Amino acid sequence: MSLAGKTAVITGSNSGIGLGVAKELARLGADVVLNSFSNSDADHALAAEIAREHGVSARYIQADMSDGDACRGLIEAAGVCDILVNNAGIQHVAPIDEFPVDKWNAIIAINLNSAFHTTAAALPGMRARGWGRVVNIASAHGLTASPYKSAYVAAKHGVVGMTKAVALETAEEPITVNAICPGYVLTPLVEAQIPDTMREYDMDRDTVIREVMLARQPSREFATTAQIGGTVAFLASDAATQITGTTISVDGGWTAM
């Protein structure tokens, strides 16, 4: 499988799932555009490293995904966007009657609104080139719910709904629109939470992962960023030409319960 000649724009991709996706698409020959809200030397060095390792073009473009104009500006700055991966996201946990309004607004803006803006901006170019893939990184929480995550659950359900609607709008075109719904993925952010959770529950690492963090994930194993990247790559392949408007769960059986 080769994605040579295609350009992928991945939001929220200087670490975690987004970076894993970018590396996998670059490995398959796609040029990639990395993105986050920061604009450090390390961000640009990361893109340069991917370019060197895989022999592709890789750029880093700073854009604040909470700002609609910046989201659309990212697509414009990329120049070409054949594969759009909407991955940017944040989280906050609180009961709804205590949920800070600014956190609610930020979660909806970054997790849901950004996907609307980037997709709307990218579709005209995909249509002009006669090919396109939109892959939205939703969540198991786009299909089910947990307490104290009202904003995140609302946003991810919205991403799944938007995925279906846009897929219907593009169904007669060579453009597919799908969502991936990961369960818990071992990212640097999750890794950093493990020591605190060990102390809170007075458990060793393996026990706290299996019995606390992965309590709702029947496999009792984290998904990996490479696995999410591989799923995105499949959706970008010719084998997935007739897959549109659907969700693929990468959650160790979470949503089967």
Predicted pLDDT at 146: 94
The tokens describing 3, both together, are 């994605």
Structural domain count of the chain: 2
Question: Does residue 152 have an active-site annotation?
Answer: yes
CATH of the domain at 147: 3.40.50.720
Exposure of 13 in the CB half-sphere (CA atoms within 13 A): 35
Annotate 79-144 with DSSP letters as a single string: S--SEEEE---------GGG--HHHHHHHHIIIIIHHHHHHHHHHHHHHHHT-EEEEEE--GGGTS
Q: Verify that 89 and 211 share a domain, yes or no.
A: no
Provide the residue range defining the domain that includes 204: 186-222
pTM (2 d.p.): 0.97
Q: Verify that 54 and 94 share a domain, yes or no.
A: yes
CA distances from 245 to 98, 139, 156, 160, 232 (A): 35, 15, 15, 9, 14
Predicted pLDDT at 83: 99
Q: Verify that 26 and 134 share a domain, yes or no.
A: yes
The tokens describing 12, both together, are 């929220």
183: closest CA among 249, 87, 126?
249
Within-domain flag for 53: yes
Predicted pLDDT at 56: 98
Q: Is the dihedral of CA 59, 233, 240, 117 positive or negative?
A: negative
Q: Verify that 33 and 93 share a domain, yes or no.
A: yes
35, β-bridge pairs: 61
Which among 148, 152, 184, 201 is annotated as catalytic? 152
Within-domain flag for 2: no
Q: Verify that 96 and 141 share a domain, yes or no.
A: yes
Q: Verify that 162 and 200 share a domain, yes or no.
A: no
CA distances from 178 to 62, 76, 163, 173, 251 (A): 25, 22, 6, 14, 16
Taking the alpha carbons at both ends of the chain, their separation in whole angstroms is 34
Q: Verify that 31 and 148 share a domain, yes or no.
A: yes
172: amino acid identity, one letter: E
Q: Verify that 83 and 167 share a domain, yes or no.
A: yes
Q: Verify that 206 and 181 share a domain, yes or no.
A: no
Please give the Cα distance from 118 to 66 (Å, whole number).
12
15: exposed, middle or buried (Cβ count in 10 Å: 0-12, 13-18, 19+)? middle
Predicted pLDDT at 189: 86
pLDDT tens digits, the chain, 257 residues: what are they? 899 999 999 999 999 999 999 999 999 999 999 999 999 999 999 999 999 999 999 999 999 999 999 999 999 999 999 999 999 999 999 999 999 999 999 999 999 999 999 999 999 999 999 999 999 999 999 999 999 999 999 999 999 999 999 999 999 999 999 999 999 999 998 998 899 999 999 999 999 999 999 999 999 999 999 999 999 999 999 999 999 999 999 999 999 99
Q: Verify that 103 and 216 share a domain, yes or no.
A: no
Predicted pLDDT at 180: 98
Strand order in 175-182's β-sheet? Answer: 58-62, 31-36, 7-10, 83-86, 132-137, 175-182, 247-250
Within-domain flag for 167: yes
Phi-psi region of 112 (alpha: psi -120 to 50; beta: other; left: phi over 0): alpha
Question: Hunting for tokens 């609302």 — which residue is that?
Answer: 154
Q: Verify that 190 and 156 share a domain, yes or no.
A: no
Q: What is the CA radius of gyration of the chain?
A: 18
Q: Verify that 48 and 100 share a domain, yes or no.
A: yes
Cα–chain-centroid distance for residue 225?
10
